[in-house]
Structure 1
Amino acid sequence: MSPRRRTGATLAGLVVIIAAMMGLVIGSVPLYRAFCQAVGIGGPPRQVAADSSAPSAKMVTVRFDASVAKGLQWRFAPQIREMKVRLGEDNLAVFTATNLSDRPVTGNAVFNATPDKIGKYVAKIQCFCFTEQTLQPGQSVDMVVSFVVDPAMAADPHTGEVGTITLSYTFFNTSAPVANATDERGRS
């Protein structure tokens, strides 16, 4: 094989590897959600309609955790770090996200509840994590989560002792990469 053909074959191989890696990055959020739904352990809390069970007397502490994936130039944090909630009662939590970059950025949040065994008892009625969020340069927005902790949690022998639940959200950049044929000095 000639050196020119080997170089072409190497280049083609690298292009395939890069394309596969980009596909994995783009598909990581939907793959994570599909995995959590398929195995049913831990994973994301479920989405429900606004109808919830009757509230119970039991209270739990819900903590909120927020982070952004590497490369996403956002500041993202809950407005309050924790709250006491009554099982079966509708609750609201508000998070603030700010785009720190000089361009519009679209992000998608992945969510989880811990301890893992509690995930099936946390039901989200409305959440910013159900859809992509686009923030303009410097824009800050408040994002709401409406949720219920199912009273059945208290009757479950595996979860009845849980007194603290952590709801975690991580934003990932889902903006399409923009091809730029020039370098920083304006050369092609």
Structure 2
Amino acid sequence: MTSNGRVVLIVCTAIAGMTGLVAAAPSLYNTFCRVTGFDGTTQRADAGSDRVLDRKVTVRFDGTVAPGLPWSFKPEQVSQTLHVGETAMAYFAATNSSDTPVVGTATFNVQPAKAGLYFMKVQCFCFTEQRLEPGQSVSMPVTYFIDPSIADDDNLDDVREITLSYTFYRNEDAEAKLVASGD
């Protein structure tokens, strides 16, 4: 192989490697965020906490929709104050204001971001896509708690308030599958 051939092979291998990294980046980033709570990513729990502390935290709620989604979406309560470790349930209201079925997917985070590792969701509408029929209104629950191990993290001693935010986006891929299946 000539020197030029080796250079071409190295460049093509590097391009293929970079393309593979770009393709894998979203799932690697999502895994990283779920494991570390980075950027306010909340955690999933199979059940509520077995320990409740005296410390209280106020959880505020926020809900928005992205452009292109013909829904209204908002929390049904402004806030809840609960003990760390106590399981709570909050509700969000959504209405499809269009004349066709629309599928939405929610993204979420908490602020301050450093609390993400300790914000545990047991059940949430955000775990699956949501389909709303024309004019349909629904009340969607989220069951959550603040992990008692937050008390062991000195960097979170100042956290007395956490904001849980959701943004719904239109899921056009899911809508295309509905049209293809005839639903």
- TM-score, normalized by length of structure 1? 0.74
| Structure 2: gaps (5+ residues) | 1-22, 177-183
Match for residue 155 of structure 1 among 138, 152, 155: 152
Percent same amino acid at aligned positions? Answer: 46
Secondary structure at the counterpart of residue 143 of structure 1:
strand
Corresponding residue of 1:55: 52
Give the letter for the 1:42 counterpart. D
Match for residue 87 of structure 2 among 84, 87, 90: 90
Q: Which range is displaced more, 151-160 or 54-63?
A: 151-160
Corresponding residue of 2:134: 137
CA–CA distance in 2 between the matches of 1:147 and 1:138?
Answer: 29
How far does residue 161 in structure 1 lie from its aligned partner after superposition? 1.3
1:106 aligns with 2:70: no
8 Å CA contact 1:54–1:88 kept in 2: the answer is yes
Secondary structure at the counterpart of residue 42 of structure 1:
helix
8 Å CA contact 1:95–1:142 kept in 2: the answer is yes
How far does residue 157 in structure 1 lie from its aligned partner after superposition? 0.6
Corresponding residue of 2:169: 172
1:115 aligns with 2:108: no
String of CA shifts for 1:93-148, please: whole Å, max 9, x gaps: 00000001110000010010110110000000000000000000000000000001
How far does residue 71 in structure 1 lie from its aligned partner after superposition? 0.6
Secondary structure at the counterpart of residue 58 of structure 2:
strand
8 Å CA contact 2:95–2:138 kept in 1: the answer is yes
How far does residue 35 in structure 1 lie from its aligned partner after superposition? 5.6
8 Å CA contact 1:42–1:120 kept in 2: the answer is no
Give the letter for the 2:117 counterpart. K
- TM-score, normalized by length of structure 2? 0.76
Give the letter for the 1:139 counterpart. Q
CA–CA distance in 2 between the matches of 1:39 and 1:90?
Answer: 22
Higher helix share: 2
Pairwise CA RMSD: 2.1
| Structure 1: gaps (5+ residues) | 1-23, 179-188
Size of the aligned set, in residue pairs, is: 151
Change (3 A) 1:39 1:156: closer
Change (3 A) 1:32 1:133: farther
8 Å CA contact 1:127–1:145 kept in 2: the answer is yes
Q: Which runs of 4+ in 1 moved over 4 A?
A: 29-32
